[in-house]
Amino acid sequence: MTDDNDDLPLPPESGGGFFGDAPAEPAQVPALQENNTPYRVLARKYRPQTFEDLIGQDSLVRILRRAFELKRVAHAFMLTGVRGVGKTTTARIIARALNCVGPDGKGGPTAEPCGVCANCTAILADRHPDVLEMDAASRTGVDDVREIIEATRFRPMQARMKVFIIDEVHMLSRNAFNALLKTLEEPPPQVTFIFATTELRKVPVTVLSRCQRFDLRRVPQSLLIEHFGRIAQKEGASLSDDALALIARAADGSVRDGLSLLDQAIAQGASDADAVSDMLGLADRGLVFDLLEALMAGKAAEALDLTDQAYARGADLGVLLADLLDLLHLVSRLKAMPSLREGRDLPEAERTRGGMLADRLSTSVLGRAWQILLKGVGEVESAPDRRQAAEMVLIRLCHASLLPTPDRLIRQLTEGGVDLSLPSGPSGPSGPSGGSAQAGPAEGAGVQARATQQVSTSMDPGGPRAHVRLVANGGEIIEPGYAEAEAEQAPEPEPLTPPRTWREMVALTWDKVPQLHGTLRNSVHLVRFSPPDVQIRLEDSHTKADRLLQNFLEEHFPGQWRISLSTAEGQPTLDEQGAEVVQLNRAEVEAHPLVKAILEAFPGAKIGDVQDHSLDEYGLPPEITAPLTEDAPPDLEFAPLDADFLDEDDLLKDQEPL
Ligand SMILES: [Zn+2]
């Protein structure tokens, strides 16, 4: 009858009549409890009865309370939100608030329905003659709506207000909406409509504009954890914090879905994270962590062994890849928002192990692993043998983790005389470049790259530098690696290099304040850059980018910069500038001594795609700046978040796009 029942093992409400006759008693399922009280599913048992009980919907509650205080309650509401966030529950609370007469039978509409008066109890039991619920999913036609309109003409039987709750209202036909519209335009004074929908976009604007709209939000995990913890306690079940967190995570913002899982967990006696993982069909989280660590270290044998273990325990390897994706996402979030490590949203293990991985892996390495896995999940779905396909994806990921980025490779070559050979044993590589990153042992990954000669090239620093994508034997993509990330991450964080140009200033923000970085790139125009003054023009004055940038600079270079706003046109944004850069001529690249050297270093490699990155990740040619000092490296690592992610697609044009 309502969306509360989507997935709960409730018997169908008794039918008959348009809205269905109200059942005499709440639906029941076979008793599971030791005493003889009938068992009710938790979602129903703990359905919020008052605005107070609604969790995670603070603004809705505040606005509604205020409306009741001011006696200015709308005659039509539109409640939207994903399933299970409490739309019909809210509708019923509103219905009670409108109709409550208080324990003494004399009260008026109130934001605090008493729960004991005749109206409250009847509505609570779904059997109030004036509060009518309809599921538009099954009643979509114009005749169904006519029935409602007909009903609005009669005075309420026992309540103050007739309340029509129409769930999944977007399912109504166009004619049905039109029929409804007239009533909505001039609702009879004693009628309130409460619509609920998961798909607001399908509701005609003409209808929307006549409703007060509330967007019910996904309930944050921390609130779900607390809520489920309280309910578990009331039920006499003890679940560990980690187990509750897993349930909250799986609930994905839906109280009802989460309670349904909690029901299962309690029934199965699952009280710790392992048991709940099993119940949820998740591969053991620890194993997923082990696997990710092995993959990012390029340890293919270990990764496959762990995969075998998961498979033996009945895990679907497609699901395992999805779990890996999920974990990568978590690690990336931990990297971007270190404060997550303090919160209670995440189980302890995820905070600590995830945090360690986040510290170790660079954002670009995480992003590339994500790309490979995302593509891999799709491959597994279409492969004749899921297990084989999943293993191939994992091997590819290992392989990718071992290889230096083309950028780095080029840098090593241009710095002169680097031994490119990847060692086959544990003995570390030795090269004149000293601190340059090198791939670790190529365990099982089958990397056959070996330099045939020492390469020494001297390049005009202002000249074109190619970003070359390489395809090794058998079409394997040469992807950047973990080893490199470790090398990048190894040193203590250094103080930021003072920016010499606008571009460098923007680049400084990219991993510190990624959102600001995006705004600076695509909607901020440089008007003047003359240290310490920087004048900019904002395309969108709401961004506050000037203040955010000033704060950022104050944090790292106290008192050294002044950002001000200008109305002058200024330069195109960095993104606009990047789009204008012309691609290098392919033949020019092929003839380039550097490219030749790379091709020799990776036998069988061929040039996949060419872009004139010129080592500037904004796609812009190098800027002319003041002479570099010794401790200011010429090539700042300022890859934007999306840098390099296009490689695979461009290479594998014959494959489906992501
Ligand atoms: Zn009441």
Q: What is the CATH number of the domain that holds 553?
A: 3.30.300.130
522 within domain boundaries: yes
Mean pLDDT along residues 35-50: 79
Residue in the block written with tokens 């490979």: 372
Predicted pLDDT at 543: 73
Given a cut of 50, is residue 423 above it in pLDDT? Answer: no
Give 112 Cα–ligand 1 centroid separation in angstroms.
Answer: 8
Mean pLDDT along residues 532-549: 85
> Residue 564 gets which letter from DSSP?
E
Question: Where are any strands of DSSP class E within 540-596?
Answer: 562-565
Give 45 Cα–ligand 1 centroid separation in angstroms.
Answer: 19
Q: Residues 171, 254: one domain?
A: no
Predicted pLDDT at 555: 86
* Structure tokens given for 124: 């609570």
Give 212 Cα–ligand 1 centroid separation in angstroms.
Answer: 24
Higher pLDDT pick, 136 / 80: 80
Residues with CB under 5 Å of ion ligand 1 are 100, 113-114, 117, 120
Q: Residues 202, 306: one domain?
A: no
384 within domain boundaries: yes
Give 370 Cα–ligand 1 centroid separation in angstroms.
Answer: 53
Higher pLDDT pick, 269 / 403: 269
Beta-bridged to residue 195, according to DSSP, are 78, 166
Mean pLDDT along residues 418-430: 40
Give 11 Cα–ligand 1 centroid separation in angstroms.
Answer: 28
Predicted pLDDT at 61: 93
Give 558 Cα–ligand 1 centroid separation in angstroms.
Answer: 60
Task: Assess contact for 471 and 621: CB atoms under 8 A.
Answer: no
Most confident of the following: 32-46, 176-190, 530-544, 583-597? 176-190
Give a three-class secondary structure readout of 510-544.
CCCCHHHHHHHHHHEEEEEEECCEEEEEECCHHHC
Q: Residues 157, 299: one domain?
A: no
Q: Residues 249, 162: one domain?
A: no
Give 133 Cα–ligand 1 centroid separation in angstroms.
Answer: 19
492 within domain boundaries: no
**CATH at residue 246:** 1.10.8.60
* pLDDT bucket at 405, cuts 50 / 70 / 90: low
Mean pLDDT along residues 594-623: 61
Mean pLDDT (the chain) is: 75
Mean pLDDT along residues 424-435: 36
Q: Residues 66, 208: one domain?
A: yes
Higher pLDDT pick, 643 / 102: 102
Predicted pLDDT at 104: 92
Strand order from edge to edge, sheet including 191-197: 131-135, 162-167, 191-197, 76-80, 212-215
Mean pLDDT along residues 30-53: 72
* pLDDT bucket at 649, cuts 50 / 70 / 90: very low
Give 103 Cα–ligand 1 centroid separation in angstroms.
Answer: 6
Task: Assess contact for 84 and 254: CB atoms under 8 A.
Answer: yes
Predicted pLDDT at 258: 92
Q: Residues 81, 210: one domain?
A: yes
Give 151 Cα–ligand 1 centroid separation in angstroms.
Answer: 24
**CATH at residue 367:** 1.20.272.10
Q: Residues 323, 398: one domain?
A: yes
Residue in the block written with tokens 């690592």: 637
Predicted pLDDT at 345: 66
Q: Residues 249, 395: one domain?
A: no
Predicted pLDDT at 413: 67
Give 7 Cα–ligand 1 centroid separation in angstroms.
Answer: 30
How much of the chain, in percent, has pLDDT values that exceed 70?
68
Mean pLDDT along residues 633-657: 42
Predicted pLDDT at 410: 67
Give 160 Cα–ligand 1 centroid separation in angstroms.
Answer: 12
Given a cut of 90, is residue 460 above it in pLDDT? Answer: no
Q: Which of 543, 576, 609 is the last residue of a domain?
A: 576
Mean pLDDT along residues 214-238: 92
Give 120 Cα–ligand 1 centroid separation in angstroms.
Answer: 4
Give 109 Cα–ligand 1 centroid separation in angstroms.
Answer: 9
Predicted pLDDT at 466: 38
Q: Residues 208, 261: one domain?
A: no
Give 137 Cα–ligand 1 centroid separation in angstroms.
Answer: 30
Domain that holds residue 511: 502-576
Give 56 Cα–ligand 1 centroid separation in angstroms.
Answer: 24
478 within domain boundaries: no
335 within domain boundaries: yes
Range from 319-333, 406-420, 597-611 carrying the lowest mean pLDDT: 406-420
Q: Which of 402, 427, 444 is the last residue of a domain?
A: 402
Higher pLDDT pick, 94 / 10: 94
379 within domain boundaries: yes
Mean pLDDT along residues 390-419: 72
Predicted pLDDT at 75: 93
Higher pLDDT pick, 144 / 650: 144
Q: Using one digit for the tens of pLDDT, what is the confidence trace for 324-348?
A: 998 999 999 998 888 888 876 676 7
Q: Is the dihedral of CA 234, 239, 240, 242 positive or negative?
A: negative
Most confident of the following: 402-406, 530-534, 612-616? 530-534
Given a cut of 90, is residue 138 above it in pLDDT? Answer: no
Q: Which of 576, 607, 624 is the last residue of a domain?
A: 576
> Residue 455 gets which letter from DSSP?
B
Give 99 Cα–ligand 1 centroid separation in angstroms.
Answer: 7
Closest among 164, 177, 176, 168 to 196, alpha carbons compared: 168
Q: Residues 235, 207: one domain?
A: no
Q: Residues 271, 304: one domain?
A: no
Give 255 Cα–ligand 1 centroid separation in angstroms.
Answer: 25
* pLDDT bucket at 372, cuts 50 / 70 / 90: very high
Predicted pLDDT at 396: 92
Q: Residues 107, 143: one domain?
A: yes
Higher pLDDT pick, 288 / 629: 288
Give 113 Cα–ligand 1 centroid separation in angstroms.
Answer: 5
Predicted pLDDT at 451: 32
Mean pLDDT along residues 384-397: 92
Give 51 Cα–ligand 1 centroid separation in angstroms.
Answer: 13
412 within domain boundaries: no
Predicted pLDDT at 407: 58
Give 50 Cα–ligand 1 centroid separation in angstroms.
Answer: 11
Given a cut of 50, is residue 21 above it in pLDDT? Answer: no
Q: How far apart are CA 59 and CA 260, in angstroms?
A: 26
Give 114 Cα–ligand 1 centroid separation in angstroms.
Answer: 4
Given a cut of 70, is residue 210 above it in pLDDT? Answer: yes
Q: Using one digit for the tens of pLDDT, what is the confidence trace for 239-291?
A: 999 899 989 888 878 899 899 999 999 998 988 888 888 787 666 677 888 99
Q: Using alpha carbons, list the distances in angstroms from residue 635 to 369, 417, 437, 497, 657.
A: 24, 18, 15, 12, 32
136 within domain boundaries: yes
Beta-bridged to residue 607, according to DSSP, are 470
Give 70 Cα–ligand 1 centroid separation in angstroms.
Answer: 19
Predicted pLDDT at 431: 36
Give 104 Cα–ligand 1 centroid separation in angstroms.
Answer: 9
Q: How far apart are CA 190 and CA 383, in angstroms?
A: 60
Predicted pLDDT at 136: 86
Given a cut of 90, is residue 616 above it in pLDDT? Answer: no
Predicted pLDDT at 560: 87
Give 215 Cα–ligand 1 centroid separation in angstroms.
Answer: 26
Give 127 Cα–ligand 1 centroid separation in angstroms.
Answer: 14
How much of the chain, in percent, has pLDDT values that exceed 90?
29
Rg value, the chain, Cα: 31
Higher pLDDT pick, 300 / 426: 300
Range from 54-68, 108-122, 418-432 carrying the lowest mean pLDDT: 418-432
Give 48 Cα–ligand 1 centroid separation in angstroms.
Answer: 15
Give 110 Cα–ligand 1 centroid separation in angstroms.
Answer: 9
Mean pLDDT along residues 540-546: 78
Q: Using one digit for the tens of pLDDT, what is the confidence trace for 111-132?
A: 999 999 999 999 988 899 999 9
Give 162 Cα–ligand 1 centroid separation in angstroms.
Answer: 15
Q: How far apart are CA 546 and CA 551, in angstroms?
A: 9
Higher pLDDT pick, 325 / 421: 325
* pLDDT bucket at 73, cuts 50 / 70 / 90: very high
Provide the number of structural domains found in the chain: 4
Predicted pLDDT at 507: 83
